[in-house]
Structure formats: C-alpha cells, structure tokens
Amino acid sequence: MPLLEVSNLTTHIRTRRGVVRAVDDVSFTLEAGETLGLVGESGCGKSMTGLSLMGLLPPGGAVVGDSSVLLDGRELVGLPDRELRRVRGNDIAMVFQDPMTSLDPTKTIGHQVAESVLLHRGCTRAEATERAAEVLGLVGLPHPRERLKDYPHQLSGGLRQRVLIAMALANEPRVLIADEPTTALDVTIQAQILALLADLRTRLGMAMILITHDMGVTAGHTDRVNVMYAGRIAESTGTDRLFRGMRHPYTQSLLASVPRLDQDPSVQLPTIPGRPPDLTAPPGGCRFAERCRYATDRCRTEEPQLTGADDHRYACWHPTSGPLPAGTTAAVPRPDGPSPSPSPSSADRPLLEARDLVREFPVHGNRLPGRARRVVHALSGVSLELGPGETFGLVGESGCGKTTLGRLLVGLDRPDTGTVTLDGTDLGRLRGRELRERRRDLQMMFQDPYSSLDPRMRVGSILREPLQIQGIGTARQQKARVAELLTEVGLPERGAELYPHEFSGGQRQRIGLARALALTPKLIVADEPVSALDVSVRAQVLNLMNRLQAAHGLSYVVISHDLAVVRYLADRIGVMYLGRMVEVGSADDIQLRAAHPYTAGLLKAVPVPDPELERAKRGTGISGELPSPVDPPSGCRFRTRCPLARERCAEEQPVMRAFGPEHTAACHFPLSTPLADAAAGRLNGGGVPGSAGGR
Amino acid sequence: MTTYLIRRTGEAIVVVIGVMVLTFVMIHLVPGSAARATLGTRATAERIAVFNAANGLDRPLAAQFVTFVKQAAEGNFGTSYSLNQPVSTLLAQRLPRDAVLLGLSTLLALAVALPMGIFQAVRRGRVADHVFTVVSFVLYSMPDFFFALLLIAVFSVQLHLLPSEAPQAESVAGILADPRALVLPVVTLTLVSVAGFSRYMRSSAIGTLAQEYVQVARAKGLPERLVLRRHVLRNSLLPVITVLGLSAPGVVAGAVIAESVFNYPGMGLLFYQAATSKDYPIMLGSTLVVGVATVVGSLFADIAYSLLDPRIRYVDA
C-alpha cells in the first residue's frame, strides 16, 4: 500500500467570477522515501493540489466529488476539522515559498518551532524547546541553542527557510509538501536548501512532494514528476523518462522554452503561444489544444484521459516521442544584430563607460553620538565599458550591488566617487534640465510587471508620458508613436485604452519594454526583466528583447540572478560579488573558462534541466552565505566562502588580471593561468588589458 | 533600544517646547482682552490698566512668555481671573477625574473595537462585515453632542434607567462610587472612538491575514482561534497603537463636549468655561496639559510599539 494515495482529487473555489475548477480529477500515489515533483506554470493547480492535501484551501475553496486522499490507508477527505488538525503539521507538513514572510515577525524562532511540537506532542514547554533546538540543528542552523531567542528579521533568507523547514519537520511528518521552497532564494542558497531537503528525506524516510516551476530543480531533485496543466495532470512518469522521452506536447514545449546555459544564443527560444485557459469555464476538449502545435479537431472536441503504462501516463491524442529535436525547433534564427562579439577595442568610443564607481549607503537606525558611522558598501570600485549595440550581463547574488550599479548607469543615483560617461558626457556633472534631457538616452525596465506600471493610468498614457515630459511631437504624433510602440512589442493597438490590470504578466512586461523604448534610448538597463514570469512567457519576452535590440541598435545592461538568462542575452558578462566585479568576459569565457572560483561555484549551483547532469554534480557549489556588506571581509571579499582561500587572500586585495582577450578576473589563485604569467618575461606583467575591472 | 528611547524622549521635549510657544502665541492672538472679560464692558480705562499691570499683561509678549515658561517649570500656571484660584490647583483637582472618564472609555473602546476589527477582517465581504461597517460609519459621523443628547433622551428621559448628570463627587473614589451616573458619559465617549479604532483594526487585520505566516500557523495544525490570538492579533495591533497614541487630542475634544453636556466636573468643562470667559491662565494651562498629554501619549505608543515589534527593538542591537 502506498503511503499516500490521492484519487480523483477535485477542488473548486467559489469566486465572484464563478466557480474555478482549480484541481480537476487528479490522482497519484507516493511511497515513503520518494520525491514526487508537481510541475507546471502559475495557475496550473500545483499549489492548490498541495493545499487541498493539507485542507488549507482559501475562502470559498472546497474538495468536492468523489475525491479521496488516503494517508496510510486513512481517508482524509471529509475528516472533521479537529481530526484534520491533528494530521496537519504532524503527519503531513508543508514548507512555503517565501521565507521572508512565512515567519511571524513578533515571535522568536525558538517559540515558533516549539509551537508545533507543543501542539501535537503534549509535552512540556521545556521539552518542546529542547526539540526545537534539536531540529534547528538538524536543518543546519549554526549554534541552534543560542539562536532560539532570535527573531526572524535577524536571520538571512536562507536561514529563515531552514527555520521553516525545521518547523515543518519538528514532528517528523511522513509527508512533506514543499511549495516552491527555493524560488525566493539565490541559486547558491537554493542549491544548499535543496540538498538539505534531499538529505533529510533520506534520513527521516519521509515522502516529499516538491512543487516547482523550475525544470532544473525538477531534474535534480525528484524521482517522479506530475506535469500539471489547467488543473489536470498532463503527464506523469519517472524524472529521467520525462526529460528524455516525454509524450505530452506541453511537457515538450515547456522544456524547450527554458533557456539553458548551453543554449545557442543565435537561435530564438521556442515559445508556447497564448495563455492557459480560464478555469471557470475550461474548454471542452484537450485543455492544451489552443496552444498545441499538433492539435487536431479531435483535440478540440474530445478530452483525452490519462493512458499508457503505469510508469508513464499521459493525456494526449497525439503523443510525441521525446524532446523537440534541436535545430528543428521552429527555430527562427535570431535576426542579424550586432556581431555576437563586438570588439570594443576597435577605434569607436564606447557608448557607456563607468570608472571606479563607489557607492555607500548609511545604515539606517539610530546611532549614539560618538559611535562610528556605519555604511553599507554597495559598490566598492566597479568599472565597465559598453559598446553601441552590445549587451552586458550582470550576475551575482542578491546584495552584491548589481541593482545599485544599474541605477548609477542610468543616472537615477549618483556615485560617491567615480564617473559614468555616456557618449563622452560625464553624467555626474549634469544637473537639472540637461540631465533630464539626457535621460531620454537612458531607460530602465523593471522586474515586477505588477508594481512598475501605475494601476490608475491607461496604457496609452503610460507610454505617452515620457514623450510629454520630453516635449516630443504634437499630441497627434505622440498618439501615433504609442500605437507604433504597441505594435512593436506585439500588443494590439486598442491596448492603449486599457488599464495595466487587464493584461497578463508577460504582456505587462512588454508594456514596460515599450515604455523604455518610447524615447528611442541608446541604453536600456533591464533589472531582472523576466524573473517574475513563467517560463513560456519568459521565452517570449527574451525573444522580443533580442529582436528590438537588433532593430534599434540598442545597448542593454541585463541584470539577473539567472545565469541562463544572462548567458542567452549577453555578449559579455560581469560577475559581481559584494560590491566588486570579480570576473568579466565573453559569455563563453564565463561559462566555459571561468577563472574565478566564485564564478565557477555560481555556475555549478544553477540547476540544469537534465537529470543526468544534475545527478553528476557533487556538492552545492558555494557554501555559506553572503557576508554583511556593512563589514566586508578584508582582502578578497569572497575568501570567507572560497574553497581555495589562503592567507594571502585575507591580506591583499586581488587585482584584475587578463585571462584572454576581454577576459579578466580578480583572484590570487585562479582556476586557470593568467596571460601575464603564461607569457612571463615577455609581457613583464605590464598593464592590465581588458575593458572592465575592479579595484 | 536605549538609543531609541533617548532619541525619542529628546524629540518629545522639543515638541513640548514647541507646544508651549504655539499655545501662548495663539491665545494672545485671540481677539478681545482678558481685562474686559473679567471686569465687564463698562470698566474704566484706569481699572483696565490696573488689572493689566497686576497680571503683567502690559509687558511685551516675549517677556510675558519668559515669565510663563519660568513659572510653568515650577508648576505655577498663574491664577484664574474668574475663579480666583491657582490654575495648578484647579488642574490637579480635575485631571484625575478625566483620567477616570477618558481611561475607562478608551479601554472600553479598545475592548470592543479590537475583536470587532478582527471579526470583520475574518468575515471580510460577508454580511456581518457589512453590518458592522455601516454601524461604524453611523457612529463615526454622528456629532458627539448629538449622540450624548440622544442617549440622555432615551435612557434618562424616556426610560428613566440612568441619570442624565455625571457624578458630581470631588474625589475619584466618589466618582467611582456612583457607577450608574458614569454610564452615559463613558458610553458616549466609547462609542465615538470604537468606530475609528475598529476600522483601523479591520484593515490592519486584513493585511495580516494575507501574510504567509498565518498560513504557516494553520499548516502547523493550530486551531483558527489560536491562529487569530497568537499570530494575527499582535501583528495587527501595531498600526492601531500609533493611532491610539495620536488620538489624545480627539479624545479630549470629545471630553469637552461630553463634559459640558453631562456636567462632568473635569478638564473639558473647565476649559469650556474658561474659553467663554477668556480666562487666559486656565486656557494656557489646560492647553499645555493636553499638548503634553498628546506628546506623552505618542511617546508611550512608540515605546509600546517597540515592545511589541522586535524589528524596532533590535534596530541598533
């Protein structure tokens, strides 16, 4: 008998718009010691499935029909609330997505972990606290006993997620539901948390349901996968088979649209057109038919049921046989833009040049007179150059200073020292009107498509505003320009009359891009342009960004924590760590010939959508967490987490050395030999070539 | 935490000085003179001059202010023109009575408003929520004096259940000894503030309920009752505390009206009488007391806030 047996699970949520069929006839089993992935895009029902198992549905939600959830043979559906509460947090526990908001800010972590022990074990408070210290140790919180009295805000995101896991594991549940447990974390921390979950699963013999949208995470951390689409299971099989021999076209398209580290940047990413159906009135036939490349009339009228052998079931009339073969992926070649590796060393002046940028922010809070002023060292001497039509990618963990750098580059903030030069003009010297006029060349595209557009302005006004501010054209010309912009980003012209909330996330990000384009800028700084989007939509926006760059000769600075995204867009990549640039090089240099141990670790931490490669990985890339930027380590700032660090790293700050044309890194003990050393004697260790560097 | 308290207290002192300057200037800008008000409209110029000289009113404003501050520091707010008693004595008599009236009504208001706000947040958008919302707005928009008169009309005049006049006893003990007479003034002031507090509590609790840690608490298996008490209440209280601290002037303004209607011998009534007879020393003294009470109230609110919210407590730890 399987540990958990879910059959015909159907969940309805009553809303003002009607009844949403969030989960529709979902069946699966789960054995002890096994991890089942629930995979799909937002709104596909994967989280709702988890919440249905926990009995934690939102208001108006109910498990209906002949749904059945058997835990060790015991029926959970229809259990009275009092009984269900004994199961919750005891037999089945859940870890949620956002560690920043999942802990009560007014209670100590010890108290919060002990709370669930007290509730289910009927022990004394002292025993519960003892148990809390024990599980906090188990999840790798350093010095758990001393930290029991810590409040959540005193911990980093990674540590908070460990506390949440401890809370879920406190009563040694038999099933752990992890709902996007690492989506809000940096890749380095993500790798650590996923490794921890896998280790705990084995040690405690738990069964785990891993809910994720990330195909890389799925590849590395699940045994079997249910791919969900529009509330139903589209395909269900072992992880290896899913990636190598998927039968459902949705799985196929989903995997193809994920940019991979080894993606050929000259080929457009395949996308899934359209958006998932409205679940208040799902279509009659196959729910994916509208967006499916193989759909026939039968798909639109007759709904396919899950068929196939027990170990590989899929719901499709026209099953495929494996992944889209490379090359034939409806691959439209990327339009000819600037050459893939432009050479800024050529005579033409760089468009943008940043020199030795330093930016420090005072630490907020109160300071007694006489106590030293404390500052966050956001940027400590960063330089970079960018040619016309070039894309520079910036990667690094959160808190490394990449967003601050982006803001300095577009003149939204001024450096404390150092200069930003655009076309020969020092932005730091511009004031008032001159600066405002210069802003038309520098635009920004933001991460969150929901908060970056004024909800009370029509899209037409949002797009016109930059033109009005800069006084460009007559009202008629401005309106024409708005229509042109909408067409350019692939939105209908009548969109100008609508409000932002009437668009999907991907469409809003297109509006954001159109707004940035309105003034025909020379440079767009895109700060995490696709992080908030689903993979299929992500591919659409990435393709659009590439097309517009080619059409307008734009330069981009793309800031992202996602190396694959940066790798796909960028000609050159800069890796930042704690306010410094540690390595700069072409996309290939960074991916294939990384010289800095941090770059190598970061690459290793990125989950790859390939089960074999994921399993072959040893270790988690980079251990530990980013030190405080208030008090950065001496010498090389990465030394506290570096496997190769020696005494010299603490004493002496490494300078940028060349490892190839345009490839520089700042490390005392690099992974490959620097050019100057290789040609020792001839070059005599002369000046450091290369277009970017850090102090 | 210590740093925070020191800084916050320093700010409070600066604000109190500002309050003193402002009240002094404002009261002397009000048209009409104290001499005329005290001596009557037929008083001769000589008598007015003598009155002004005796009370120091013929000196320049700045000099008068310096004297006022010096004396205020010693607890001396001058002598009332009309009642011929030291203002400090009058205030000392009345303040405890107000502490009883305002303290009781504020506590009662919170006791009603906090559960009501949470209840409404939990039932958001359902019938119960709408009913309480309508009731809140009716209470909120009704003028205090009208409300007081309405209560008197119903409970004293029609039903003869409760006296229409507040307790007249001198001491606090005496006032408390007559709880029936205290009911109507306290209820008036309570209902007026319940509306405001419950609205704040409702919107704050709606925000808290949407937080993921509430869902986490449910996932632990906590019954909803405990989820609300342990995790929602305290977190939703934070914004309400700020409002509470700043509500002192509103409460006092309500007290001026309620005390006049119910003839409650508190500060409000004293101030009302002083204002009609242009009794500067009393007005100055009581305005200052209210100003200081507001500043102290908001200081206490900040301290309470930092006790409830560790993110503030440990800001410089």
Residues in chain B: 317
Q: Choose among B219, B231, B308: nearest Cβ to A54.
A: B219
Q: A417 and A314, same structural domain?
A: no
Contacts of B213 in chain A (CB under 8 A): 101-105
Of A87, A90, A153, the CB nearest to B311: A153
**Mean pLDDT value across residues B194-214:** 91
Per-residue pLDDT at A367: 52
Residue A80 placed within a domain:
no
Question: CB contacts < 8 Å between A and B, how many?
Answer: 87
For B212, which residue in chain A has the nearest alpha carbon? A102
Q: How many helices (H) and strands (E) does chain A have?
A: 23, 25
Q: Which two three-digit tokens encode residue A691? A: 């277009």
Q: Say if residue A379 is in the same domain as residue A463.
A: yes
A594, part of any domain? yes
Average pLDDT in the B172-191 region? 85
What distance lies between CA A238 and its chain's CA centroid? 25
**pLDDT at residue A175, rounded to an integer:** 95
Would you state the pLDDT for residue A686? 41
Q: In the prediction, which pLDDT does A690 show?
A: 41
Q: What amino acid occupies position A385?
A: E
User: Does A391 share its domain with A517?
Assistant: yes
Range of the structural domain that residue A395 is part of: 352-363+373-570
Task: Please judge whether A89 and B3 are an interchain contact, meaning their C-beta atoms are less than 8 angstroms apart.
Answer: no
B309 touches chain A (CB under 8 A): yes
Using a CB–CB cutoff of 8 Å, tell me whether A102 touches chain B. Answer: yes
Q: Is A684 found in the same domain as A588? A: yes
Residue A690 and residue A345: Cα distance in Å, rounded? 9
Same domain membership, residue A513 and residue A465: yes
CA B3 to chain centre: 28
How high is the pLDDT of residue B31? 62
Q: A45 vs chain B: nearest CA distance in angstroms?
A: 18
Residues β-bridged to residue A358 = A380, A417
- A278 in a domain, yes or no? yes
- What pLDDT score does A176 carry? 95
Q: Taking a C-beta distance cutoff of 8 angstroms, is the pair A370, A342 a contact?
A: no
Neighbours of A220 (CB within 10 A): 23
pLDDT confidence of residue A53: 94
Which H or E run includes A134?
helix A125-138
Q: Is residue A2 part of a domain?
A: no
Half-sphere exposure for A487 (CA within 13 Å, toward CB): 6
The string of pLDDT tens digits covering residues A588-601 is 899 889 999 999 99
Does the beta-carbon distance from B221 to A86 stay under 8 Å? Answer: yes
* Helix H or strand E segment including A380: strand A375-386
Between β-strands A207-212 and A35-39, what pairing exists: parallel, antiparallel or unpaired? Answer: parallel
Please report which confidence band the pLDDT of residue B315 belongs to, taking 50, 70 and 90 as the band edges. Answer: low
Closest chain B residue by Cα to residue A111: B230
The separation between CA A323 and the C-alpha centre of its own chain, rounded to angstroms, equals 24
Sheet order of strands, A232-238 included: A92-95, A175-179, A207-212, A35-39, A224-229, A232-238, A312-314
Q: Is B234 on the interface with A (CB under 8 A)?
A: yes
User: CB neighbours of A326 closer than 8 A, spacing ≥ 6?
Assistant: none
CB contacts of B316 in chain A (<8 Å) are: 365-367
Given an 8 Å threshold on Cβ–Cβ distance, is A103 in contact with B216? Answer: yes
B221 and A CB contact within 8 Å = yes
Task: Compute the distance between CA of residue A92 and CA of residue A49 in angstroms, rounded to an integer.
Answer: 13
> Which CATH number does the domain housing residue A449 bear?
3.40.50.300
Higher pLDDT, B20 or B39: B20
Cα–Cα distance measured from residue B27 to residue B34, given in angstroms and rounded to the nearest whole number: 11
Task: Give residue for tokens 């640039």.
Answer: A581
Cα–Cα distance between A12 and A63 in angstroms, integer?
6
- How far is residue A573's CA from residue A316's CA, in Å, rounded to a whole number? 42
Closest partner CB to A89 (pick from B6, B219, B309): B219
Evaluate if residue B120 carries a pLDDT over 90: yes
Q: Please tell me the distance from the alpha carbon of residue B272 to that of residue B282, in angstroms, as a whole number.
A: 10
Mutate to test the interface with B, among A51, A95, A104, A113 (most CBs of B within 10 A): A104
In this structure, the answer to whether residues A542 and A601 fall within a common structural domain is no
Residue A96 to residue B219, Cβ atoms within 8 A:
yes
A138 interfacial to chain B (CB closer than 8 Å): no
Out of A87, A106, A365, name the one closest to residue B308 (CB).
Answer: A106
- Same-domain check for residues A637 and A540: no
Residues of chain A with Cβ-Cβ distance to B311 below 8 Å are 105, 151, 153
**Residues of chain B positioned with their CB less than 8 A from the CB of A103:** 213, 216
B250-263 burial, b at 16+ Cβ within 10 Å, e below that, comes to ebbebbbbbbbbbe
Q: Number of folded domains in chain A?
A: 3
CA A604 vs CA A244, A569, B26, B180: distances in Å: 22, 20, 71, 77
C-alpha span between A52 and B266 (Å, rounded): 59
Rounded Cα distance between A525 and A513, Å, is 10
Contact B220 A116 (CB under 8 A): yes
Distance CA A631, CA A259 (A): 36
Q: Give the A window 178-217 contacts with B, CB below 8 Å.
A: none
B219 touches chain A (CB under 8 A): yes
DSSP states of A523-579? EEEEESTTTTS-HHHHHHHHHHHHHHHHHHT-EEEEE-S-HHHHHHH-SEEEEEETT
Is residue A52 one of the residues assigned to a domain?
no
Determine the residue type at A404: T
- Name the A residues in 149-168 with CB < 8 Å from any B CB: 151, 153-154, 164, 167-168
Q: Which residue has the higher pLDDT, A150 or B26?
A: A150
Contact (CB, 8 A) for A136 and A103: no
A643 and A501 in a single domain? The answer is no
* Residue B115 DSSP SS3: helix
Q: Is the CB of A96 less than 8 angstroms away from the CB of B308?
A: no
Say yes or no for a CB contact (<8 Å) between B3 and A367: yes
Contact of A69 with A53, CB cutoff 8 Å? yes
- The closest CB to that of A366, out of B3, B216, B223, belongs to B3
Tokens of A497: 């009359």
The answer to whether A115 contacts B315, with C-beta atoms less than 8 Å apart, is: no
How far is B28 from chain A, CA to nearest CA, in Å?
39
Assigned domain for A301 exists: yes
Angle CA B173–B179–B180, to nearest 5: 150
Which residue from A104, A365, A367 is facing B213, i.e. has the nearest CB?
A104
Contact A87 B221 (CB under 8 A): yes
**A77-86, A310-319, B37-46, B249-258, range with the lowest pLDDT:** B37-46
**In angstroms, rounded to a whole number, what is the distance separating the alpha carbons of residues B234 and B205?**
10
- Residue to test with chain B: of A118, A366, A374, most B Cβ within 10 A: A366
pLDDT for residue B114 is more than 90: yes
Do A436 and A535 reside in the same domain of the chain? yes
**Is residue A398 exposed (0-12), middle (13-18) or buried (19+ Cβ within 10 Å)?**
middle
- 3-state class (DSSP) for residue A518: coil
Phi-psi label, residue A303: left if phi above 0, alpha if psi -120 to 50, beta otherwise: beta
B216:A96 CB<8 A: yes
Residue in chain B lying closest to A167 (CA): B220
ipTM over 0.90: no
> Which residues, 6 or more positions from A570, have their beta carbon under 8 angstroms from its beta carbon?
A391, A392, A393, A556, A558, A587
Distance from the A183 Cα atom to the nearest Cα atom in chain B, whole angstroms:
15
* Rounded CA separation B129/B202 (Å): 10
Instruction: Specify the residue for token string 């073969």.
Output: A325
Residue A225 included in any domain? no
Q: Are B209 and B232 in contact (CB under 8 A)?
A: yes
Please check whether residue B225 touches A, CB under 8 A: no
Q: Is B204 on the interface with A (CB under 8 A)?
A: no
How many Cβ atoms sit within 10 Å of the Cβ of residue B180? 10
Indicate whether A684 and A628 sit together in one domain: yes
B131-153: per-residue pLDDT in tens?
999 988 888 888 888 888 888 88
pLDDT at A679: 63
| Among the listed residues A645, A642, A658, the one whose alpha carbon sits nearest the alpha carbon of residue A693 | A658
How far does the CA of residue A512 sit from the closest CA of chain B (Å)?
Answer: 28
- Asked if the C-beta of A368 comes within 8 angstroms of chain B's C-beta atoms, the answer is yes
CA distance, residue A368 to nearest chain B CA (Å) = 6
Residue type (1 letter), A492: P
Helix (H/G/I), strand (E/B), else coil: A39? strand
Query: Which DSSP state fits A631?
Result: S
Residues of chain A with pLDDT under 50: 327-347, 681-695
Q: Cα distance from A148 to chain B (closest Cα, Å)?
A: 14
pLDDT value, residue A258:
84
Backbone angles phi, psi at A31, to 5 degrees: -100, 160
**B86 φ/ψ angles, rounded to the nearest 5 degrees:** -60, 135
- The token pair at A390 is 């070039």
- C-alpha gyration radius of chain A: 27
pLDDT of residue A685: 40
Question: Quick check: is A608 in a domain?
Answer: yes
The answer to whether the beta carbons of residues A266 and A567 sit under 8 Å apart is no
pLDDT band at B26 (very low <50, low <70, confident <90, very high): confident
Mutual angle of helices B233-246 and B248-262, in 10-degree steps: 70
Among A516, A536, A570, the domain boundary falls at A570
- For B2, residues 6+ apart whose C-beta sits below 8 A from its C-beta are none
User: Kind of pairing, strands A92-95 and A175-179?
Assistant: parallel
Structure tokens at A24: 């529709």
Contacts of the segment A638-641: beta carbons below 8 A, 24+ positions apart: A638/A577, A638/A578, A638/A582, A638/A596, A638/A597, A638/A598, A641/A598, A641/A601
- Domain boundary among the residues A521, A547, A570 is at A570
Are B311 and B109 within 8 A, CB to CB? no
Query: Which residue from B minimizes the CA distance to A116?
Result: B220
Q: What is the pLDDT of residue A288?
A: 92
CA nearest neighbour of A421 among A467, A353, A469: A353
For chain A, say whether B211 makes contact (Cβ under 8 Å): yes
Domains of chain B: 2-73 (no CATH), 90-313 (1.10.3720.10)
The alpha carbon of residue A585 is apart from the nearest alpha carbon of chain B, in Å, by: 41
Measured between CB atoms, does B46 come within 8 Å of chain A? no
Give me the residue label for tokens 């040694």: A172
Residue B12: predicted pLDDT: 85
Distance CA A10, CA A48 (A): 10
Q: Which residue has the tokens 């509006």?
A: A511
Task: Please say whether the beta carbons of A136 and A166 come within 8 A.
Answer: yes
Give burial (CB, 10 Å; 0-12/13-18/19+) of A432.
Answer: exposed
Write the residue in A93, A97, A366 that is nearest to B219 by C-beta.
A93
Q: Looking at CA atoms only, how far is residue A665 from chain B in angstroms?
A: 37
Q: Is B183 left (phi over 0), alpha (psi -120 to 50) or beta?
A: alpha
Residue A268's pLDDT is 82
Query: A151, B311: Cβ pair inside 8 Å?
Result: yes
Nearest CA in chain B to A53: B219
Based on the fold, state whether residues A381 and A487 are members of the same structural domain: yes
State pTM to two decimals: 0.83
CA distance B300 to A311: 65
Three-state DSSP at A104 gives: coil
Return the HEC string of A573-597.
Answer: EEEEECCEEEEEEEHHHHHHCCCCH
Report the residue from A89, A96, A365 with minimal CB separation from B221. Answer: A89
**Do residue B314 and residue A153 have CB atoms under 8 angstroms apart?**
yes
Which tokens in the block code for residue B297? 């109230």
The answer to whether the beta carbons of residues A439 and A523 sit under 8 Å apart is no
Looking at chain B, the whole-number percentage of residues with pLDDT higher than 70 is 95
**Does residue A467 share a domain with residue A358?**
yes
